[in-house]
Amino acid sequence: MTDKALRVQQLRDEINRHNHSYYVLNAPTISDYDFDMLLKELEAIERENPELDDPLSPTHRVGSDINSHFDQAAHIHPMLSLGNTYSIAEVDDFIRRTRESLGEQKFEIVGEMKYDGTSISLIYEHGRLVRAVTRGDGEKGDIVTDNIKTIKSIPLQLSGSGWPDLLEVRGEVLLPWAAFDKLNAERAYNEEPLFANPRNAASGTLKLLNPAEVAHRGLDAYFYYLLGPELPADNHYDNLEYARQWGFKVAPVMKLLHGISEVDEFINYWDTARKELPVATDGLVFKVNSLRQQLNLGFTAKSPRWAIAYKFAAERGLTRLRFVSFEVGRTGVVTPVANLEPVLLSGTIVKRASLHNADIIRSLDIHTDDMVYVEKGGEIIPKITGVDLSGRQPDSHPVEFVTHCPACGSPLERVEGEAAWICPNKYGCPPQIVGRIEHFVGRRMMNIDGVGEETARLLFDSGLVTNVADLYDLTVEKLMTLERFADKSARRVIQGLEDSKRVPFERVVFALSIPYVGETGAKKLARATADIDTLMAMTAEQLTEIEDIGERIANSIVEYFANPLNRAIIQRLRDAGLQMSIERDESETSDRLAGKTIVISGTFTKNSRDRYKELIELNGGKNSGSISKKTDYLLAGDNMGPAKLEKATSLGVPIIDEDTFLSMIGLTD
């Protein structure tokens, strides 16, 4: 194999790995700039050496965000990516090339902000939203209509007049900074992995299976392009103004530009001003305004020739590492934190940055007192991206990950198959105990008013609360012996504890701090088991039959309930009056679907998909995400995926609509 061929293979392998991390795992491991540089290098080699080209090369495709849990639909028009550039000179070259290609001196450019979210295509028929599809692989994407309907800024019925009977509107689903901060604060509190940036958060949210949780997160959307056979104007700018009148949230940053000087001025202004916007941005987009000229310019295999994206450079600072601290969380995971000399980034002072795990420390080769490069991922989460070796001190030594818990001294254990190290002393390590108390009293768990992080620490340090069951032994008199408590604040806590006894069972399960069981998992466990005794008695094999409960979660649940201390705590919570079973409407519960496996596909009008899944389980049936010979029924709604319909037909699986299903379980009108 020649050196060129070897480099091509290396590049393809590396780009494919990064594509998987970005589009499938929602966990990018490389900056956009570095990824683009790899792709450009591969494109150049393939262009100069056509014998090395391969139809399966990543240069011939766009990344995919398709999710197997959703039905797919083909795009009416392919959703292509834009060519990226990182310099004003390259944008200027684009303007010159466009002028030469058109053979016209007079043409307009529309300058827009490039919002950093996840692309979406909306289809309207006769003014009504009928389908929402993610970008996917550019040719087809996931149908996420139910989730899109939860975004309040998206019109379900167009307003005004003049809209065509068939209209496709493309835009970007975003998570505003305020909502992003709130979401990450909640995830940090629950010791869930933080989203690296609003783009990943928006993408992950749009793929949630529960529209109610999507609605809770506060997504927004801006729209930037119209397609259809009868658009109202012959140019891009005016079409977007019409879209604004029809109720769409069209990007406020949109300007007609004439020539290179105006384009350069637009770039220089927004390079700074963008930091004041309420949503994340990563660049600018420049489009030829005339639709006729767009048509004349055409497309390459991957992108339109009439548009280009200019990417802003990430803001980076250089500062000294003061020391690395190691912090223990509620679940025992030990996280290294870089403590830095203060550095100003994106308008805020950065003093700390997570180093995530031992593998990251090793890959960065960080030494004591190093000068380190710090960036804000998505302009919000500080991260260390490299070391300035020229500033390394002669007597420095590599930062070593601790071998023992910094809080209790227990030898750390490596989580199998992961990069995390944990303290195994779950019931004797103070930060883990306090963390479980903090988690238990939290708003989305038991919501006990008057107990926050500082109070939880105070209650533990005083010896009054050493596990969550001890909370219900508190009295006004006991609390008033503590510093910071007076009669009013003590009574507030006691009332909060009393109110928590009405919190539903699914939130009690979440509050217990069962390792790997998050809020969604707790809901599914509660609904599938109905009471704590059933849940405690289940085997790992039985638990894995519950939707979204994998082997690791199942084993963790079994291990949790096998511990006598946990069982004793649960009994004390039961005695205190907490809800240990789920209240169900008996009229909805039956064995009518016992032994039946049902696949749900499409969108529905009388109930949500999640509601139908719940009704299947309440009536003894089992939900499945894919069709097989074992499938008894396909519950089909509107916009059902053609692949599932074809497979059901070929296997002879009965296809029923929602009225038939409701009749089967005795819930007809």
Which residues does the annotation mark as catalytic?
114
Q: How far is CA 222 from CA 9, 161, 170, 172, 480, in A?
A: 39, 21, 9, 5, 53
CB 313 within 8 A of CB 33: yes
Whole-angstrom Cα distance, residue 360 to residue 381? 16
The one-character DSSP state at 596 is: -
Rounded to 5 degrees, what are φ and ψ at 463? 85, 0
Q: How far is CA 355 from CA 27, 183, 400, 572, in A?
A: 15, 21, 12, 39
First to last CA, the chain: 71
CB 75 within 8 A of CB 36: no
Whole-angstrom Cα distance, residue 569 to residue 556? 17
The DSSP result for 336-401, as a single string, is EEEEEEEEEETTEEEEEEE--SHHHHHHHT-BTT-EEEEEEETTTEEEEEEE-GGG--TT--B---
Q: How far is CA 233 from CA 15, 23, 110, 256, 300, in A?
A: 40, 35, 15, 15, 25
Whole-angstrom Cα distance, residue 381 to residue 183? 13
Whole-angstrom Cα distance, residue 167 to residue 160? 15
The one-character DSSP state at 143 is: B
Q: Would you say how long the chain is, in residues?
A: 669
Using alpha carbons, select from 514, 332, 512 the residue that is nearest to residue 407.
Answer: 332
Biggest CA–CA distance in the chain, Å, is: 87
- Find tokens 């944990």 and name the residue: 422
Facing residues of 226 across strands? Answer: 169
Whole-angstrom Cα distance, residue 118 to residue 358? 31
Q: How many CB atoms lie within 10 A of CB 533?
A: 12
CB 456 within 8 A of CB 434: yes
CA 568 to chain centre: 37
Strand stretches in 528-660, DSSP E: 597-601, 622-624, 633-636, 655-656
Cβ contacts of 667 within 8 Å, gap of 6 or more: 588, 615
